[in-house]
Amino acid sequence: MNGSQSIERYLDLSWETFYESYFQEMSSELLSKKWERIEIVISFLAATTASGSAIAGLALWSKPGFKLIWSIIAIVSMLSAIAYKAFKIPGRIKIQTEINHNFSKLRIDIDTFRQQLQLGSKNMNVEKHYNSLRDRYARHIAESDLDI
């Protein structure tokens, strides 16, 4: 295999790793945003039924139909607060943000590697560099927690 075939081979292989890393980066970003939206809704519900808001809600109890509505809101808020603790939402956001950051850095490093290949960088051990990028990818995949 001559030098240009070798470079083409590493460009093809690194493209797969680039794509996989980018996919993981985007997936973790979407998960992080999902958990952030859930956190905002739970915070809003908690604020709505907090002591000051609850007193205002008590005024609604005297109106027909509002007692049931307010009771439902309070129960949903309470259950949400329990779910917030049970699902450890702040921790999940932090983990997904870290995963996103790791795969983003890896994607940029793979892109740099690919550019160096295309420019014909002579000061690089191509196989060693590629293997190090693949090792990082495998490590980040292994460290990534499955999430719902």
HSE (CB half, 13 Å, CA atoms) of 143? Answer: 14
Its pTM stands at: 0.79
For helices 126-143 and 89-119, the axis angle rounded to 10 degrees is 170
Q: What percent of the chain has pLDDT over 70?
A: 89
pLDDT over threshold 70, residue 54: no
Distance CA 142, CA 128 (A): 21
Distance CA 122, CA 100 (A): 32
